[in-house]
Amino acid sequence: MASVPVRSVVIFDLDGVLVDSHEVMGRAFAAAYAEVVGAGPAPFAEYQRHQGLYFPDIMRRMRLPLEMEEPFVRESYRLADQVPVADGVADLLQTLRTRGFRLAVATGKAGPRARSLLATLGLIQYFDHVVGSDEVANAKPAPDIVRRALSLLDAEPDAALMVGDAPADIRSARSAGVTAVAATWATVDEDGLMAAGPDLVVHSPGELLPACPPVPAPGRR
């Protein structure tokens, strides 16, 4: 009889999972659009449909100037303390650590900005590693960022869950051989998220806990 893999690692996306950053992100995007492109409504709804991807990749898909990245990042740093942590996330992270899980973030953001945001919001201490899209060869939906997190955690794919709110997160996890968990509490594309074929769907942070029982102590597996 095949043994059941022991889960000991959870990898999280950042925006829309750990934090509900859409309102602040919209303000940063509008400011960057006005500064680089000019007057007129910023196409933020279209931008949201590409969530999970690296910002320069989104600009290429939207045929917008790559020069928008500098003011977008600048405004994102300025507004970071206004980004709300998603309800229930801090309790989830604390419980997972208490249960013996090692945690990582694999985000479409650049690594320095992701680590800065997590530090500003008081979440950085829960994570063993934070990997940004600028720190891998290919951003989501390629599996590189999930594989990088697994390598840093010295974990096999069958020991890990990846929690994301965008189709790119689910595709990245599945391509890396990791259990893909769809988080719906702040997603802007639930239909696309479901169409990506997640292995598990959770509607609140606490719903993840039944899939993450305490990690057995060494020798008790």
Q: From residue 141, give the alpha-carbon distance in Å to each of 106, 108, 204.
A: 11, 10, 23
Q: Look at residue 128 and tell me if it is in a domain.
A: yes
The mean per-residue pLDDT over the stretch 11-30 comes to: 95
Total number of domains in the chain: 2
Do residue 99 and residue 59 come from a single domain? no
Q: Look at residue 67 and tell me if it is in a domain.
A: yes
Do residue 114 and residue 69 come from a single domain? no
Would the pTM of this model clear 0.85, i.e. be above it?
A: yes
Supply the DSSP string of 47-59, one letter for each residue. Answer: HHTTTTS-HHHHH
Do residue 13 and residue 26 come from a single domain? no
Q: Provide the pLDDT for residue 4.
A: 56
Domain boundary residue, one of 32, 52, 82: 82
Do residue 102 and residue 177 come from a single domain? yes
Residue 204 is part of which domain span?
Answer: 9-20+85-211
Q: How many residues does the chain have?
A: 221
What does DSSP say about strands 160-164 and 9-12: parallel, antiparallel, or unpaired? parallel
Q: Provide the pLDDT for residue 188.
A: 79
Q: Please name the helix (run of DSSP H) or strand (run of DSSP E) that holds residue 107, with its range, or none.
A: strand 102-107
Do residue 107 and residue 198 come from a single domain? yes
The mean per-residue pLDDT over the stretch 83-103 comes to: 97
Q: Look at residue 202 and tell me if it is in a domain.
A: yes
Do residue 27 and residue 45 come from a single domain? yes
The interaxial angle of helices 167-175 and 144-153, nearest 10 deg, is 60
Only one residue has tokens 């996890």, namely 173
Domain boundary residue, one of 54, 82, 110: 82
Do residue 114 and residue 206 come from a single domain? yes
**Tens digits of per-residue pLDDT, 150-173?**
999 999 999 999 999 999 999 999
pLDDT category of residue 53 using cuts at 50, 70 and 90 = confident
The encoded tokens of residue 93 equal 């992270």
Distance CA 18, CA 165 (A): 10
The encoded tokens of residue 56 equal 């320069």
Do residue 97 and residue 201 come from a single domain? yes
186: CATH: 3.40.50.1000
**Residues 6+ positions from 48 with CB-CB distance below 8 Å:** 22, 188, 189
Cis peptide before 65 (omega within 30 of 0): no
pLDDT category of residue 221 using cuts at 50, 70 and 90 = very low
The mean per-residue pLDDT over the stretch 59-83 comes to: 95
Domain boundary residue, one of 40, 64, 82: 82
Do residue 58 and residue 107 come from a single domain? no
At residue 219, does pLDDT exceed 70? no
Do residue 53 and residue 92 come from a single domain? no
114 in helix, strand or coil? helix
Catalytically active residues, by annotation: 13
Do residue 72 and residue 41 come from a single domain? yes
Q: Look at residue 220 and tell me if it is in a domain.
A: no
At residue 47, does pLDDT exceed 60? yes
At residue 2, does pLDDT exceed 50? no
Do residue 91 and residue 61 come from a single domain? no
Q: Look at residue 221 and tell me if it is in a domain.
A: no
Q: Provide the pLDDT for residue 3.
A: 52
Give residue 169's identity as a one-letter amino acid code. Answer: D
Q: Provide the pLDDT for residue 1.
A: 41
